[in-house]
Amino acid sequence: MPWRISLLFLTIIFSNVGSTLSDDEEFGGLTRVCYGNTSSTNNSTSLDFQDNVYSLLFLLVAESSSWHPTLSFFNTSVGRVSDRAYGSYLCRGDLSAKQCHNCLVNLTKFMMDQEDDNSECIGFGGLIRCMVQYADRSKFKVYEEGLVFTYQAIGKNMTNYEQYNETLSNSMQGIVKEAGYGNWTKANFATRTVEVTGSHEKIYTLVQCRPDISPVNCGKCLGELYSYIPDCCSGSSGGVLVHANCLMKYNNESFYGKANRSFRPHYFQLTFLLLLTIFFKFM
């Protein structure tokens, strides 16, 4: 629909996004995985739901442009009960507000361009900076086993993989245990650096859960991802694994940093964009 293109174009302009990801090119390829129910595209309820999805994606981007200093997660819904779209974004806890916003602009644009009538979709970057999800029901805050959407090896092949794997296993098991007890320094997000047994090589690990799931379920989710490491990443220095409720990444090169939350809200732009949403919705 033309209003969708116009809306996205104006979102990018008024969000002051210059060269997205210019300060960090690690984002990787964009991916969207859809599942759940499908319905005929000429069905009025389906069409209303898809329109609500577009409005929802726009609102997620608009919200990220006015980040609260500690916010890396936001969820909301759009529409009537019969065709309501529920969704959320999750940004990695070490990203700045600007990095999060730029990531979401890229990802939501990509998702808007992939038209279909699936009721549930998740989008993310290949090396995981942000995730966006939507569905026709409020479901994401409940941990569901089996919703592992990607797992891939990264980095180089290891010659000392036996020692490397032992160190990695001990580190990941410790993080999963901490997640289950909810005793991380920063809620739902943790990083850890460990030295490989018998060498000076280091492993950098990062894990994160959606903040709306319990610590117990966070531990279960990360434990599920951990169980995929032998199949996905054996022999490699790193891996990226994504579940609907959590994510995990590790490598022998540092890839995370301390977030800088100096991004100021643009209240005029946010108000203007929200008015545009209403205008184009009822054209």
Residues 29 and 165 in one domain: no
Residues 162 and 214 in one domain: yes
Higher pLDDT, 82 or 242: 242
Tokens of 20: 């997205």
Higher pLDDT, 110 or 18: 110
Alpha carbon distance 240, 43 (integer Å): 38
Residue 78 lies in a domain: yes
Residue 170 lies in a domain: yes
The arithmetic mean of pLDDT across residues 216-232, rounded, is 94
The arithmetic mean of pLDDT across residues 244-265, rounded, is 73
**Which of 141, 186, 179, 167 minimizes the C-alpha distance to 229?**
167
Residue 259 lies in a domain: no
Contacts of residue 187, defined as CB under 8 A and 6 or more positions apart, other chains included, come to: 211
Residues 172 and 240 in one domain: yes
Alpha carbon distance 111, 89 (integer Å): 13
Residue 256 lies in a domain: no
Is the distance from CB of 136 to CB of 86 less than 8 angstroms? yes
Residue 261 lies in a domain: no
Residues 66 and 184 in one domain: no
Tell me how many domains the chain contains. Answer: 2
Alpha carbon distance 76, 39 (integer Å): 23
Residues 52 and 178 in one domain: no
Residues 122 and 153 in one domain: no
Confidence of residue 24 (pLDDT cuts 50, 70, 90): very low
Query: Of the given ranges (39-43, 97-101, 243-247, 248-252), which has the lowest mean pLDDT?
Result: 39-43
For the beta carbon of residue 250, count every other beta carbon within 10 angstroms.
27
Domain that holds residue 211: 148-251
Residues 59 and 136 in one domain: yes
Residues 82 and 28 in one domain: yes
Query: Of the given ranges (24-33, 51-60, 160-169), which has the lowest mean pLDDT?
Result: 24-33
Residues 193 and 115 in one domain: no
The arithmetic mean of pLDDT across residues 171-182, rounded, is 92
The arithmetic mean of pLDDT across residues 26-45, rounded, is 69
Is the distance from CB of 251 to CB of 194 less than 8 angstroms? no
Residues 204 and 133 in one domain: no
Residue 258 lies in a domain: no
Residues 178 and 209 in one domain: yes
The arithmetic mean of pLDDT across residues 193-219, rounded, is 93
Q: Domain holding 21: CATH number? A: 3.30.430.20
| The pLDDT of residue 37 | 72
> Please, what is the angle between helix 2-14 and helix 267-281, to 10°?
180
Residues 81 and 23 in one domain: yes
Tell me the whole-structure pTM to 2 decimals: 0.80
**Which of 37, 36, 64, 41 minimizes the C-alpha distance to 51?**
41
Alpha carbon distance 62, 69 (integer Å): 16
Is the distance from CB of 123 to CB of 111 less than 8 angstroms? yes
Q: DSSP assignment, residue 186?
A: B
Query: Of the given ranges (6-15, 74-83, 96-105, 115-124), which has the lowest mean pLDDT?
Result: 6-15
